[in-house]
Chains A and B, each alone.
Chain A
């Protein structure tokens, strides 16, 4: 089946630790995105990538880092610099960044700081 796979589904982080969220897609999509979802705030863009080895900051990139070494993979690292990392993280991909193309989403990773 084609789709986007995020892992793990639940992740617990101690304060001061870096953690990496995985996102893999087999849809052959060029563009990939990371969003953060908090209650009552909708989705906010963290980072996006249009092609391999290229990525751009979104609206709330501080405290996060990404890489795009392969077309299929777009991992997100939540660093210790992110002061409020507890949230639901969603990865998405689309055929291109054309304005009329819809994004497809993974099932999400819920990160909790303990």
Chain B
């Protein structure tokens, strides 16, 4: 079964400091990994994805993520946090189509990032 874990419900970081939001996954097969951000009472916005190739993936708004197969992790990072980065972040995993069904996204429970001025 596919699953995604975001071990931290809340991450606080000072403005200008680097930030990391953690994500680990468990899948039977090669994973396709995604990060989304959600602002209050809004939908999810796509940030970046890992499909194959370079383990370091760059995305929107200066975010990047590193795929680590041995640690089954896909942590989201940003070198210098902004107050406007404060939001809820979701990691998601997808595996190629199985016999029974579809390529559905499985989401983690989310991590609330607060950037302190």
Contacts and interface: CB of A to CB of B under 8 A. Distances in A.
A43 B107 contact: yes
Contacts, number: 65
Interface stretch (A12-20, A76-84, A106-114): A106-114
Contacts of B101: 56
A104 B49 CA distance: 13
Contacts of B51: 100
A53 interface: no
Contact of A98 (B34, B42, B46, B103): B103
Interface residues of A, number: 29
A18 B109 CA distance: 28
Interface of B is mostly: loop
Interface of A: 4, 6, 33, 35, 40-45, 48, 50, 56, 58, 88, 90, 92, 97-100, 102-108, 110
A99 B103 contact: yes
Contacts of A104: 46
A43 to B, nearest CB: 4
